[in-house]
Amino acid sequence: MGHRALVAYRRPDRLYDLRYSHWGGEDGSLGERISAETPLASGAVNADLLADSIARDRILTNFLDPCIYEALYLVAPGAEYDVAAYHVCWLEWGDGRDGGRGAIIAVDGEAADRRVRTWFRATKTALADLIEMGALSRRAAQTYLEARVCEDEDGTVYTYTGADDAASTEPYTPTADRWLEDGPHRETDHDGWDSNGENWDDRP
């Protein structure tokens, strides 16, 4: 079965090469094993590329399926192999109509990953029970879940466009997508520049 992770390596041209790790999403520790000496974490990351020359904004929307992956790692070889780790959350339920709705939450090590994983599972399970009992509509539950992810954990919500969109008879307006913002009121465009024209992605 595995605990799948998507590992994105930043290139000098600011695009990313994507690789796959079958067990990298297990506990959030894979990033600690990626270094200049072991760029593939001693074999934990597959050498074969899933995709190359990918723009940053496309990593989430086109490659990070929240139904499949449990973790995302952004690796910056040009910054001494600095690694940013994120836990991937699926913001739907098994019979949901919007299976591609997901979120990423930054985690720093195994303890943080375990806390986020436990918190999200408990919150989502409680909401599922409320939906089943008829106390909440699916739309209300998902809106609440997205709000908790963003406000409580400073998460980034996104829509994976590769997922099949099930038919919907109930209108639904999701939370606006955010991609690694510095704060809850900061908006960025797809090139990594904020609304004031400042570069928010300043790693070399």
Q: What pLDDT score was predicted for residue 98?
A: 54
- pTM for the full model? 0.79
**Along the 204 residues of the chain, how does pLDDT read in single tens digits?**
679 999 999 999 999 999 999 999 998 899 999 999 999 999 999 999 999 999 998 999 999 999 999 999 999 999 999 999 999 999 998 755 556 899 999 999 999 999 999 999 999 999 999 999 999 998 899 999 999 999 999 999 999 986 333 333 344 444 444 455 443 333 333 334 233 333 333 333
Under a CB-based contact definition with an 8 Å cutoff, are residues 155 and 103 in contact? yes
pLDDT attached to residue 46: 97
Rounded to whole angstroms, how far apart are CA atoms 125 and 111? 21
Cα dihedral 7/186/101/76 (nearest 10): 0
87-90: long-range contacts at Cβ-Cβ below 8 A with a sequence spacing of 24 or more? 87/28, 87/113, 87/116, 87/117, 87/120, 88/25, 88/64, 89/120, 89/149, 89/155, 90/66
